[in-house]
Amino acid sequence: MSQRNATAKDLPTQSQAPVNTTMNDQLTDLQARLTFQEESIDALNHTVARQAQEISELQQAFKKITQRVYALSESHIASAAEEAPPPHY
C-alpha cells in the first residue's frame, strides 16, 4: 500500500461546504417534521380511542333507552286500533 499525500483536489472546496450544511439543515428539518408527525399521530390515536369508548357507551345507553320506550309503549299506551274514536265523530 502506498501512502498518498492530500492534494488540493482532495480537500473540500467552497462549493461543497454549503451543500453539506444544506444537507444537514435539511436532515435536521426532516427529523423535526418526523418528530412532530409522530406526536400528532399519537395524539390522534388517543383521540380516536377515547371517541371509540364514548361511542360504545352511547350505544349501550341508546339500547337501554330503546328498551325502556318499548316497555312503556307495551304497557301504558294503547295502539291506534284499540283507541275508541273521539266523541265528535
What's the structural domain count of the chain?
1
Q: Which domain holds residue 56?
A: 17-75
**Structure confidence at residue 47 (pLDDT):** 98
pLDDT-based confidence at 41, cuts 50/70/90?
Answer: very high
For residue 69, tell me if it sits in a domain.
yes
For residue 31, tell me if it sits in a domain.
yes
* The C-alpha cell that represents 19 in the structure block: 451543500
Taking residues 17-27, report their average pLDDT.
81
For residue 37, tell me if it sits in a domain.
yes
Backbone angles phi, psi at 42, to 5 degrees: -60, -45
Cα→Cα distances 83→15, 74, 79, 86, Å: 95, 14, 7, 9
Whether residue 20 has pLDDT greater than 90 = no
- What percent of the chain is modeled with pLDDT above 70? 70
Taking residues 10-27, report their average pLDDT.
71
**Structure confidence at residue 10 (pLDDT):** 60
